[in-house]
Structure 1
Amino acid sequence: MKYHALIPAAGGGTRMGGGTPKQYLPLTGRPLIWHTLKTLTGVAAIDHVHVVLAPEDEFWGGYDWSDFKGRLTVWHCGGATRAESVIHGLRALQSLVAGDDWVLVHDAARCCLTVEHVGKLLAEVGDDPVGGLLAVPVADTLKRAQTDGRVAGTVAREGLWQAQTPQMFRYRMLLEALERMPEVTDEAGAIEAMGLHPKLVAADMTNLKVTWPLDLQLAEWILANRRQ
């Protein structure tokens, strides 16, 4: 049994604005995705890291990825959605992985992931029959909005968690689930649609996803202060 990391990175990051996909935005002197790759290639238990790019990606070749030589493979087979990119990436790995191997799917934009985060996920999910994901309990009061932007009601937060990545499932099970439910927004959702219940592994808010311009500043602060 082996562990493989799969990073869908075919999106354009339109909510960030500008013409550069967010995975290539500068962060402490490196492209954002470099920090994601540094963590995942630094986990000794992970056999190999795979990045799924858009077929027409013109940015990757402009950077130096030699730090990850021998630990990283790039696949130019990304799709129009995150789920499509993951499905295409999984299919590309078909001859390289066993059906029971673990696949850790991780957002390229979660660039503050740590080796400790991944280690906790492996330790708590490695023997699980279903799989699991990093997540954090919801702490804020949640409001449901009306179409006019006013509050429709308050949502009870008890038992609610905010999903993160990596999300870790067996190769065969994950591919089958995503092929059945390609419209899901994360891998756990596809597994849930099969009637299964992934395990929640408590992480923390530093494993944020860079979505808006301010998130990039937060990520830079986290990385800088973590080094100190």
Structure 2
Amino acid sequence: MPEFAVIIAAAGAGSRFGGTVPKQHQPLAGATVLERSVGCFAGQPGIAAVHVAAAPGDARAEESVARLQASMSVPLLLHPCGAAGRGQTVLNACELLAAGPAAPEWVLVHDAARPCLHPADLARLLAAVAEHGEPALLGAPMLDTVKRVEDGAVAATLDRAALCRAQTPQAAPLPELLAALRAHPEATDEAQALERAGGRPRLVLAAHPNPKITAPADLAVAAALIAAGTGV
């Protein structure tokens, strides 16, 4: 199995979440959302280092990384390379890794706002990469009926069997992801950048909930998952 450098995208301002404290710094089960997300990779096989891509001057991110460094079995580093958009933030982090003295072969990009990644799902994703040697991402089946809307009215019902909800982590070789993000920094996730560059990332279905914190109510859901043992 290849070793992975994890990039935690943690520069979001949390405009949809509201309030003055970004969602990645909200308290969650005795830590913060960011700290919980970083902790998902602690002690996991195949992880060589964890890199937190935060907004420049983010003192809360600095404090979180400092608190966690002693308990991590791999290097945990903070990079104040965040940008206005997620794609540019991840691109900036990839550029830093590629320019470093020991550039990783593979990267694993994870949203700071997904603090409930289950170790078994991470292992499934890494195993798929090891087996197939190609980019891959975690996803969840689309269980709801999905409508396409035009001018406020339903125009069509989509076949949900052909749809899934993309999650993170998303894995790719660093050179391939770097080229895709350079060409498509506006992409909303790494898989989209790779798609636009002509790739077809492999989908690995998660067996456990892996929700993204978007609104304040999501914190209660994440806390319940952690308490129940279905989130880390």
Matched, 1:122 2:123: no
Q: Which residue of 2 aligns with 1:137?
A: 141
Q: Which residue of 1 aligns with 2:170?
A: 167
Using the size of structure 2 for normalisation, the TM-score is 0.91
Distance in 2, Cα, partners of 1:96 & 1:47: 15
Q: Which residue of 2 aligns with 1:77?
A: 81
Q: Which residue of 1 aligns with 2:43?
A: 42
Distance 1:87 1:19, change over 3 A: same
Decide whether the 8 Å contact of 1:32 with 1:109 is kept in 2. Answer: yes
Distance 1:97 1:200, change over 3 A: farther
Distance in 1, Cα, partners of 2:205 & 2:102: 28
Q: Which residue of 2 aligns with 1:151?
A: 154
**1:204-215 correspondence to structure 2 within 5 Å:** 204=207, 206-215=209-218
Q: Which residue of 2 aligns with 1:182?
A: 185
Using the size of structure 1 for normalisation, the TM-score is 0.92
Distance 1:96 1:36, change over 3 A: farther
Distance in 2, Cα, partners of 1:43 & 1:96: 24
Distance 1:62 1:72, change over 3 A: closer
Decide whether the 8 Å contact of 2:47 with 2:74 is kept in 1. Answer: no
Aligned partner of residue 224 in structure 1, secondary structure: helix
Decide whether the 8 Å contact of 1:41 with 1:71 is kept in 2. Answer: no
The Cα of 1:136 is off from its aligned counterpart by: 1.4
Distance 1:178 1:61, change over 3 A: closer
4+ runs of 1 displaced by more than 2 Å?
60-71, 96-99, 127-130, 145-148, 150-153
Q: CA RMSD in A?
A: 1.9
**1:94-109 correspondence to structure 2 within 5 Å:** 94=98, 95-98=100-103, 101-109=105-113
Once the two structures are superposed, what CA deviation does each residue of 1:62-94 show, in whole Å capped at 9, x if it has no partner?
Answer: 442232375201001111100010000011112
Distance 1:222 1:120, change over 3 A: same
5+ long unaligned stretches in structure 1: none
Aligned residues: 226
Q: Which residue of 2 aligns with 1:221?
A: 224
Distance in 2, Cα, partners of 1:135 & 1:227: 16
Give the share of equivalent positions with the same residue, in percent. Answer: 38
Decide whether the 8 Å contact of 1:138 with 1:157 is kept in 2. Answer: yes
The Cα of 1:41 is off from its aligned counterpart by: 2.3
Q: Which residue of 2 aligns with 1:28?
A: 29
Aligned partner of residue 8 in structure 2, secondary structure: strand
Distance 1:29 1:21, change over 3 A: same
Distance 1:140 1:126, change over 3 A: same
The one-letter code sitting in structure 2 at the alignment partner of 1:208 is P
The Cα of 1:44 is off from its aligned counterpart by: 2.5
Distance in 1, Cα, partners of 2:96 & 2:205: 31
5+ long unaligned stretches in structure 2: none
